């Protein structure tokens, strides 16, 4: 009985450590820049990512290197999610943020993750 239990636990560990789980991570890391946005130094960029259901959301997977403010927030009175970016003082140049957007949940499924990478150019 102990041998069968040990084999079962070993199989569960092997299945949970499968390299197949890493495929979505490779897709996220290698996603191309999908949009370039120019802003003036000292201004804040605010992007409306659209409406999301209760089980849906957005996450930052790649933080910009030159941000003073870098955050996602959900509007309290609605279902929109916004991304906000403010560059460091006196920073000019390119900065990149990567976002994961999860949509399509029907309340019982997890929904679908999509990635977007945005290049922010501060002038």
pLDDT (tens place) for every residue of the chain, 123 residues total = 556 555 655 544 544 443 444 435 555 556 677 789 899 988 999 999 888 877 778 888 899 999 999 999 988 888 889 999 999 999 999 999 988 888 776 556 666 677 778 888 888
Rounded CA-CA distance 112/115 in Å is 10
**Fold of the domain spanning 33-122:** Immunoglobulin-like (2.60.40)
Residue-range domain boundaries for the chain: 33-122
Rounded CA-CA distance 101/96 in Å is 16
Can you give the pTM of this predicted structure? 0.70
Calculate the dihedral angle through the C-alpha atoms of 56, 109, 12, 29, rounding to the nearest 10 degrees: -40
């Amino acid at each position: 009985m102990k041998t069968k239990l040990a084999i079962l636990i070993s199989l569960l560990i092997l299945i949970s450590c499968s390299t197949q789980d890493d495929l979505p991570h490779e897709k996220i890391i290698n996603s191309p820049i999908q949009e370039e946005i120019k802003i003036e130094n000292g201004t804040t960029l605010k992007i409306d990512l659209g409406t999301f259901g209760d089980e849906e959301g957005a996450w930052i997977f790649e933080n910009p290197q030159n941000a003073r403010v870098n955050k996602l927030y959900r509007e309290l009175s609605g279902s929109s999610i916004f991304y906000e970016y403010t560059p460091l003082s006196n920073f000019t140049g390119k900065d990149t943020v990567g976002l994961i957007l999860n949509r399509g949940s029907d309340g019982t499924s997890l929904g679908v993750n999509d990635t977007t990478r945005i290049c922010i150019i501060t002038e």
